[in-house]
Chain A
Amino acid sequence: MEFVKENHSGPDLRVKIGSLHLANPVMTASGTFGYAREFENLMNLHRLGAVIVKGISLFPRPGNPPPRIVETACGMLNAIGLQNVGVERFIKEKMPYLDGLNVPVIVNILGGSIEEYREITKRLEGVPGVAGIEVNISCPNVKEGGVAFGGDPQMAAAVTTAVKESCSVPVIVKLSPNVTDIGLMARAVEDGGADSVSLINTLIGMAINLKTKRPELANIIGGLSGPAIKPVALRMVYEVARSVKIPIIGIGGIETAEDALEFMLAGATAVQVGTANFVNPRASEEVVEGISRYVQEEKLHSVREMIGALKLDPLRNH
């Protein structure tokens, strides 16, 4: 891990995901930040470690019928159904703007088959501005989508290898929490060649309306996100940190720098801010500011000292 001393002011927040250098560990989670432009007047996009855009498929997808979202206790369920413009229009219409940002852009991809994942990756290879690929093998909302890959270690490894073979940028595999042994899944994609794993995607859930005696979502089930899932996400990051050597990106209910730093203690090298963007469009920037303050106040040489620094011995004298 070679972090050349730079004479820039402010605390050292740099982290590395594979060969990707980030100015700080804070990214925006796929599907919660549009294509970044939506936020340009609301925050300073250049303060982010990286931007991860809405999941892209080979062909455009209209998504699910409404209602697609419902609020639940300290969180929300969504069944957007991976609505997106498809990889061609994404490259033509969205990438030029993203390429103009002074921030690494990671493209989140999803497919119905290994071949589809390979095709999308090939289309993105060499496109100016694409700094990394995050492979969604875990979306619970579409039948042909992630589930088969997200729950099966061999399939997950095969998708990872196919994507890895088709591009030169770092490959992050996004893991589903809807599995029995997340450590096993993480090891499988590490063996498959992943440069990093990100977790967690949403937890499959359901909400029922007693008055109408019907599900709240047209899709019946959806993915739970927000503060409600943070304890599950922390536990999974902690488990995965003991299972793999590649860097981990923690996701799940992060709203503040404190939340993010807890994920780093559990073993995450970086984090993603998701649902919090909806509540506070400046949330991700505020997480960066908060981490920066913490590193200064705690007089750390770098934020990297926090990674996996969880203490497991009992706290004495308290």
Chain B
Amino acid sequence: MPQYQEKTIVTRVEQLSCENVRITLKAPEIASCCKPGQFVMIRTSVGKDPLLRRPFSIHQADASGHIQIYFKIVGRGTEILAHVRVNEEISVFGPLGRGFTIDENLPTCIIGGGLGIAPLLFLAKEICRRKKKNCGPDLIILGGRTLDEVEPLVNDFREVGIRTLATTDDGSYGEKGFVTDVLKSVELAPNTQVYACGPEPMMAAINDFCLAEGLRCQVSVESVMACGMGACLGCNRPVGDGKYVHVCMDGPVFEAKELKWNL
């Protein structure tokens, strides 16, 4: 698995809402080999503080050598990143981790909540490409607390050519409620592959639903990370029996049923 510590150039910065930002980077090496569900570690400062790189899912990658990340400002690292300018150089390390497994013969249901939507656009595009655009039975459900978290991305998903539904907790956009409410109300074929990324309680609920319905479910999870590549052992997550997996190496994508959810 090739990995690069690449000097990338910012080619576009989109402020999608007051806290959510999307950045496009010229990163030909990473773009040439990354897969949906993989992530990159980005250095937000050239100095000693903030010291560690920050992990971000690859939101999109294309044949012209660009990748995108989509993130929310939650602290110092993301605050700095939100203020980068076009033509600035940023050190990006990746692609890292194990991405989603795709079986183009299965109907799919992709579910994203909040910032968990980030890795799913790349996934949806890849599924559509592999299925040669025959995505009739497929479904995307995007949810968030408010309109800000969902609306700016919905068109990008619709353009992929997969039916896309939206929900918000407060009803400011799409259906009022949780993505799991929509999930329970739609008819899914029994061999559907579910993909989910979002807040832990959302993924836990989706895992419960999929277990009950006998559906396959892959999730992308987060953890604190120092290195992103297996060197620090800081990104562990319990799987029961006192055993751990490491999110950066064994994940970030896992079979939902293999993880422990009542954390």
Contact = CB atoms under 8 A, between A and B. Distances in A.
A256 to B, nearest CB: 11
B5 A280 contact: yes
- Minimum-distance CB pairs A-B, first 3: A69-B234, A278-B227, A34-B231
Interface string A74-89: 1110101001000000
Given A62-B244, A66-B224, A67-B224, A39 B52 contact: no
Given A65-B238, A70-B224, A277-B227, A76 B233 contact: no
Contacts of A279: 43, 51-53
B237 interface: yes
Contact of A83 (B2, B231, B233): B233
Interface of B: 2-3, 5, 43, 48-53, 93, 223-227, 229-238, 242-244
For the complex, would chain B's binding face be called helix, strand, loop or mixed by DSSP majority? loop
Interface residues of A, number: 35
A226 interface: yes
A18 interface: no
29 contacts: A31-B232, A32-B231, A32-B232, A34-B230, A38-B229, A38-B230, A39-B231, A62-B242, A65-B238, A66-B236, A68-B234, A68-B235, A69-B232, A71-B226, A74-B48, A75-B51, A76-B52, A78-B232, A226-B48, A227-B48, A227-B51, A255-B48, A275-B51, A275-B226, A278-B52, A279-B53, A281-B93, A281-B229, A282-B5
Contacts of B243: 62
Given A31-B232, A74-B51, A76-B226, A66 B237 contact: yes
Contacts of B229: 38, 42, 281
A41 interface: yes
Of residues B49, B50, B231, B237, which shows the largest number of chain A Cβ atoms within 10 Å of its Cβ?
B231
A73 interface: yes
B28 to A, nearest CB: 17
B48 A41 contact: no
A41 B94 CA distance: 12
Nearest to B230: A38
Contacts of B226: 69, 71, 76, 78, 275, 278
B5 A281 contact: yes
Nearest to A81: B233
Contacts of A31: 232-233
A80 B230 CA distance: 13
Contacts of B231: 32-34, 38-39, 277-278
